[in-house]
């Protein structure tokens, strides 16, 4: 009697295992069909670098991320030296200061063609240290500061720690070098600007601007 019961239990367990295995295999097949096929590594397109500002002029102390596709031994992060040059394997020394990232890409590609078939070069300014502005006078931290995108006169005053007690907030001005070598003096009345008047005086800071707080 017990032998028959054991055989019956064994048949039930076996049937349950078969059903569970069948369901698992069916689920795996469904997932495999639903999942998109991954292309082989060689077939994948290169990662597109984010667009850089073609108007930016590379300068001394900037840090550049140079990527040569499929050439990790050549790709690297390089600082622009005090002589305005960078060094890169195979390409040697190149004048980077005074060029835009796109111009530097073209020059590097030209130099690497002797060693690499159809080199694809991307240059991105990783750290912008060459473009600076100055703020002098009655602020808590006068000096020279890195220039970041869209910095205005109000932003610059905040970067310098705000005014000292006797700052003449209505008589601030920005000294700016013009392309022809002359200098412009742009007035800035802090009291008016923060009240919403004369908002056009809150200009964007340009490289080498000097803000004077009397």
Q: What is the pLDDT of residues 168-213, one digit of tens each?
A: 999 999 999 888 889 999 999 999 999 999 899 999 999 889 999 9
Distance (Å) of CA 103 to CA 40, 55, 66, 85, 116: 33, 11, 13, 14, 19
Q: What is the pLDDT of residue 128?
A: 84
Q: What is the per-residue pLDDT across 74-107, written as a single tens digit (0 to 9) for each?
A: 999 999 999 999 999 999 999 999 999 999 999 9
User: Which residues are CB-neighbours of 101 under 8 A, at least 6 positions away?
Assistant: 52, 53, 54, 56, 58, 64, 123, 124, 125
Between residues 9 and 107, which one has the greater pLDDT? 107
Q: What is the pLDDT of residue 44?
A: 36
Most confident of 6-20, 49-63, 134-148: 134-148
| Residue 41 pLDDT level (bands cut at 50, 70, 90) | very low
User: Which residues are CB-neighbours of 170 under 8 A, at least 6 positions away?
Assistant: 189, 190, 191, 192
């Amino acid at each position: 009697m017990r032998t028959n019961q054991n055989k019956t239990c064994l048949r039930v367990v076996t049937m349950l295992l078969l059903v569970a295995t069948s369901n698992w295999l069916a689920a795996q097949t469904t997932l495999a069909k639903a999942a998109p096929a991954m292309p082989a590594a060689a077939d994948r397109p290169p990662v597109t670098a984010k667009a850089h500002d073609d108007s930016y002029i590379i300068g001394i102390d900037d840090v550049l991320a140079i990527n040569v596709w499929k050439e990790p031994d050549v790709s690297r992060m390089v600082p622009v030296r005090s002589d305005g040059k960078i060094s890169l394997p195979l390409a040697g020394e190149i004048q980077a200061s005074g060029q835009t990232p796109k111009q530097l890409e073209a020059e590097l590609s030209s130099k690497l063609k002797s060693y690499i078939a159809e080199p694809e070069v991307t240059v991105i300014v990783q750290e912008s240290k060459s473009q600076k502005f100055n703020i002098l006078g009655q602020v808590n931290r006068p000096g020279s500061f890195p220039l970041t995108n869209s910095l205005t006169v109000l932003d610059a005053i905040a970067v310098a720690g705000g005014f000292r007690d006797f700052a003449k907030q209505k008589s601030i001005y920005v000294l700016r070098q013009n392309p022809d070598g002359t200098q412009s003096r742009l007035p800035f009345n802090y009291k008016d600007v923060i009240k919403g008047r004369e908002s056009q005086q809150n200009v964007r800071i340009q490289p080498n601007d000097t803000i004077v707080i009397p």
